[in-house]
Amino acid sequence: MAKSQNQKLKLLYLWEYLTQQTSEEHPVSIKQIIAYLESQDIAAERKAIYDDLELLRYWGLDIIQVGESRSTAYYVGSRDFELPELKLMVDSVQSSKFITEKKTIALIKKIEQLTNAFDAQLLSRQVFVANRIKTMNESIFYNVDAIHSAIAANKKLQFHYFEYTVTKERRLRHDGAFYQISPFALTWDDENYYMVGYDSEMARIRHFRVDKMIDISSLDEERDGQDAYAKMDLALYARKTFGMFVGEDKKVTLRFENSLVGPVIDRFGKEIMIIPDGDEHFKFSADVAVSPQFFAWICGFGTQAEIVGPAEVVSEYAKHIRSIADQYPSA
């Protein structure tokens, strides 16, 4: 690009230099600024740089001045994102199973561009993507976009839905036929992304893991099931459906040792009514989808937790435990 053309972009180059190459620990002098601009074929004088800095301040860039006279230096102070916020974003991306390793690396590189080069190095040192369990479905972001678009356009979606065989190959469910679902929401549970929608064929609300949806496309047909979704509490749906495994909805009474109140609140929220039961235990009731995943959650607490009622759920849980014990007859 010709020097005269670059000259018109001086303010943009100066903005980029200050935002990317300065921090409180790394301020730059007027001499350094001039040298950088000249490296970009932009002529610059000290007085003009002062005027440019004032223009950027007026525009909203938080330029901090330190030192006096010839030792004066400048850096960008407050930014849209502080370093701890960026660390939180990086941690969220790299720990998300539904984001592929390739997309994880790409997203973290973009997050690093939201700060200066020095803080970006600190972020990159904390990235541990290798050997994490990640989805292998590279189309997941296309799926999310397609779902959002269908919801906004009030249209049904069709897609294939797969599961893995013991040979780690994909096998289409529904006998290989397309699912046709009215999408209503996306929800996050147990480190996976799910689409919640209405299945007209089964006349009920269902959920599907987004990373297991393939060949997704929007239909011309408008969504149905609005009444069913309107009656649904999405937060409650996710809370009572353990691991998003389907089961019969029931109000279950549970008894836990006092030391386990934390995990109970984490699972069911602070709004549950906790009733003391002696000095060392408490009881509470909650709506759950009774499933093997729910039983597994209870079983994980051993003798510190028990199902009190209703009787049919207690009986079903007892059968579940006996069936597991029967696998180890000689133990």
273 Cβ neighbours under 8 A, 6+ residues apart: 284, 285
- What mean pLDDT, rounded, does the chain reach? 86
Instruction: Name the nearest CA neighbour of 181 among 203, 149, 163, 164.
Output: 203
pLDDT digits (tens, 9 = 90+) for 188-241: 776 778 899 999 999 988 889 888 899 999 999 999 999 988 888 777 776 656
Higher pLDDT, 208 or 3: 208
pLDDT digits (tens, 9 = 90+) for 11-23: 999 999 999 999 9
Q: Residue 282 in contact with residue 261, Cβ under 8 Å?
A: yes
DSSP single-letter state for residue 224: -
- Which range is least confidently modeled, 133-147, 234-248, 260-274? 234-248
pLDDT band per the 50, 70, 90 thresholds, residue 325: confident
- Which range is least confidently modeled, 139-143, 156-160, 166-170, 212-216? 166-170
Q: Residue 26 in contact with residue 118, Cβ under 8 Å?
A: yes
Per-residue exposure over 100-113, b if at least 16 CB sit within 10 Å of its own CB, e if not: bbebbeebbeebbe
Distance of CA 60 to the CA centre of its chain: 31
Q: What is the CATH number of domain 3-76?
A: 1.10.10.10
pLDDT of residue 240: 58
Third-level CATH fold of 140-232: SH3 type barrels. (2.30.30)
Q: Residue 147 in contact with residue 183, Cβ under 8 Å?
A: yes
Report the phi/psi class of residue 33: left, alpha or beta, with left for phi > 0 and alpha for psi in -120 to 50. Answer: alpha
pLDDT digits (tens, 9 = 90+) for 31-57: 999 999 999 889 888 899 999 999 999
Q: Does residue 167 register a pLDDT over 80? A: no
Residues of the chain with CATH 1.10.10.10: 3-76
pLDDT of residue 245: 60
Residues of the chain with CATH 2.30.30: 140-232
- Give the best-scoring range by mean pLDDT among 187-191, 245-249, 277-281: 277-281
Q: Does residue 81 register a pLDDT over 80? A: yes
Q: What is the CA radius of gyration of the chain?
A: 28
Angstrom distance (rounded) from CA 94 to CA 98: 10
Third-level CATH fold of 244-325: Alpha-Beta Plaits (3.30.70)
pLDDT of residue 192: 77
pLDDT of residue 1: 44
* Percentage of the residues of the chain whose pLDDT score is greater than 90: 43
Task: Please give the sequence-ordered ranges of beta strands (E in DSSP) within the chain, or none if there are none.
Answer: 28-29, 63-66, 73-76, 155-164, 170-172, 179-189, 192-199, 204-209, 213-222, 248-257, 275-276, 281-290, 305-309
pLDDT digits (tens, 9 = 90+) for 84-137: 899 888 888 887 777 777 888 888 899 998 999 888 888 776 555 555 556 666
Beta pairing partners, 209: 194
Angstrom distance (rounded) from CA 17 to CA 37: 9
Record the pTM. Answer: 0.59
Q: Does residue 75 register a pLDDT over 60? A: yes
Residues of the chain with CATH 3.30.70: 244-325
Q: Does residue 250 register a pLDDT over 60? A: yes
Q: Residue 114 burial (CB < 10 Å; 0-12/13-18/19+)?
A: middle
